[in-house]
């Protein structure tokens, strides 16, 4: 007997038929002799409809009330899922986040989990019940409902798996797993059988939008292995865990493309001590998250500083930097919106000097111009024209033989 936490996203429970299909899958898992905890999201579309209604009433809704409102979406799904399981004669009980013992800090709309009191969930599992937990939400311990922000249901699943020392955590979604590249961009992208947390983090945060980084980080911290797989078929997905067997052999695990960044160029900045620090502090204060940073100093003591920011932060970044440059007394800002960031990701990359060379020559052969380069322990990223992104991804995917076997 294993203890399994299964998480089903909004698309997987999008309508009556899909809820019934998930219930059948849960029944099958339980009939095989397992203890099952099911975490569900709001039906797809429900959360957005609630947000729309809120904004029509108040363009700046208070966070506490937003949590009170949005928690409704998951609560509907857990009740319907329990009913669907009862219809299959599976004993089941629904629990809101609060009822599942999930205690968070009081930071409404972006709460962090402090602890999980699993008493009631354990009681139900002992009685042989399937426990259905509302994802994305908890309570601040003072009876206020809190929510975790985007991707919060994955976090609920991973955190519950850790707290319940589950044998397996399955993240059911609308893709079959983690791929070597986005299959929409690279048709011969291949599904990975296994991937490490760090690789998953880079692949996920870079546009293979399978899971939010936060949940993967949580899983890494508590060493919770999990599987990403599709709720629409029976195909095994990708196992995400600490170490991946093939780690030594295969250096590059995947190619990620991110089209949601913009490039900010600060030119003719007279290089005074701390200029860069002040710019990035101002951006941090303004809540702009900066990704890649490159600086060159010319011989006349004038610096060119380039960095990327999420496209949604472009305006704020421009305003912040413009104001700061006025104080500094030099420099101009320019924004380039149509860029793409292409990254190759793989643990152990650092010790294989050939990776960068292979990447750059593949792009050169494809006549793709590299604007920026940045490297880390497990990834090399380049910024290119967004029009070249698809071509670049395919070329790089080929160059590293990613469509071969795992």
Applying CB under 8 A, does 114 fall inside the site for its own copies?
A: no
Tell me how many residues contact its own copies (CB under 8 A): 37
Instruction: Specify the DSSP class assigned to residue 282.
Output: H
For the CB of residue 146, give the shortest distance to its own copies in the complex, in Å.
13
By three-state DSSP, how is residue 263 classified?
strand
C-beta of 3 vs 120, nearer to its own copies: 120
Per-position x/- string for 62-101, each x denoting binding to its own copies as judged by CB under 8 A, each - no binding: x-xxx-xx-xx--xx-xxx-xxx-xx-----xx-x-xx--
Whole-angstrom CA distances from 196 to 199, 201, 217 are 5, 8, 11
Return the half-sphere exposure (C-beta side, CA atoms, 13 A cut-off) of residue 97.
Answer: 38
Residue 397 three-state SS: helix
Nearer to its own copies, 16 or 364 (CB): 16
Using rule CB under 8 A, residue 111 touches its own copies: no
Q: Does 113 bind its own copies (CB under 8 A)?
A: no
Q: Strands 379-385 and 372-376, how do they pair? A: antiparallel
Q: Cβ of residue 124: shortest distance to its own copies, in angstroms?
A: 12
Q: Tell me if 278 contacts its own copies by CB under 8 A.
A: no
CB of 53 to its own copies, least distance (A): 6
131 binding its own copies? (CB under 8 A): no
Member of 19, 103, 257, 372 binding its own copies (CB under 8 A): 19
User: Should residue 24 be labelled a site residue for its own copies when binding is judged by CB under 8 A?
Assistant: no
Q: Look up residue 67 and give its two tokens.
A: 């949590």
Write down the least CB distance from residue 70 to its own copies, Å.
Answer: 8
Instruction: Name the residue nearer to its own copies (CB basis): 120 or 316.
Output: 120
Q: Which residues pair with 146 in a beta bridge?
A: 138
User: How many other C-beta atoms lie within 10 A of the C-beta of residue 72?
Assistant: 15
| Tokens at 383, concatenated | 């910024």
Calpha distance 388→369 (Å, rounded): 9
Give me the 31-60 binding string for its own copies, x by CB under 8 A, dash otherwise: -------------------x--xx-xxxx-
- Residue the block writes with tokens 């060119």: 304
CB under 8 A, 24+ apart: contacts of 58-66: 63/108, 63/109, 64/108, 64/144, 66/108, 66/109, 66/147
- The residues that touch its own copies, with contacts defined as CB under 8 A, are 16, 19-20, 50, 53-54, 56-59, 61-62, 64-66, 68-69, 71-72, 75-76, 78-80, 82-84, 86-87, 93-94, 96, 98-99, 120, 143-144
């Amino acid at each position: 007997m294993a203890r399994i936490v299964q998480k089903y996203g909004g698309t997987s429970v999008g309508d009556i038929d899909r809820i019934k299909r998930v219930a059948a899958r849960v029944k099958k898992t339980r009939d095989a002799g397992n203890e099952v905890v099911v975490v569900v999201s709001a039906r797809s579309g429900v959360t957005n409809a609630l947000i729309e209604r809120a904004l029509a009433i108040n363009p700046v809704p208070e966070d506490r009330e937003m949590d009170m409102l949005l928690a409704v979406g998951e609560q509907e799904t857990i009740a319907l899922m329990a009913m669907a399981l009862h219809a299959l004669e599976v004993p089941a009980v629904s629990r809101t986040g609060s009822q599942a013992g999930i205690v968070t800090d009081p930071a409404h709309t972006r709460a962090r989990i402090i602890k999980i009191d699993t008493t009631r969930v354990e009681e139900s599992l002992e009685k042989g019940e399937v426990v259905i937990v509302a994802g994305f939400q908890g309570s601040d311990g003072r009876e206020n409902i809190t929510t975790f922000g985007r991707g919060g249901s994955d976090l609920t699943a991973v955190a519950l798996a850790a707290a319940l020392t589950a044998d397996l955590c399955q993240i059911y979604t609308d893709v079959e797993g983690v791929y070597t590249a986005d299959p929409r961009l690279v048709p011969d992208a291949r599904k990975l059988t296994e991937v490490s947390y760090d690789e998953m983090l880079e692949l996920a945060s870079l546009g293979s939008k399978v899971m939010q980084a936060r949940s993967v980080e949580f899983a890494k911290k508590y060493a919770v292995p999990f599987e990403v797989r599709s709720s629409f078929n029976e195909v095994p997905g990708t196992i995400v865990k600490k170490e991946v067997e093939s780690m030594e052999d295969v250096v590059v695990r995947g190619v990620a493309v991110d089209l949601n960044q913009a490039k900010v160029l600060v030119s003719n900045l007279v290089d005074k001590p701390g200029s860069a620090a002040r710019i990035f502090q101002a951006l941090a204060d303004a809540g702009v998250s900066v990704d890649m940073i490159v600086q060159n100093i010319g011989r006349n003591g004038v610096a060119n500083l380039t960095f990327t920011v999420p496209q949604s932060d472009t305006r704020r970044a421009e305003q912040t930097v413009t104001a700061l440059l006025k104080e500094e007394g030099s420099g101009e800002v320019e924004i380039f919106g149509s860029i793409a960031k292409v990254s190759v990701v793989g643990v152990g990359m650092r010790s294989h000097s050939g990776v960068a060379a292979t990447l750059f020559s593949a792009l050169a052969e494809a006549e793709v111009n590299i604007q920026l380069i940045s490297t880390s322990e497990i990834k090399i990223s380049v910024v290119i024209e967004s029009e070249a992104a698809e071509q670049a991804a395919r070329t790089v995917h080929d160059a590293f033989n990613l469509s071969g076997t795992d």
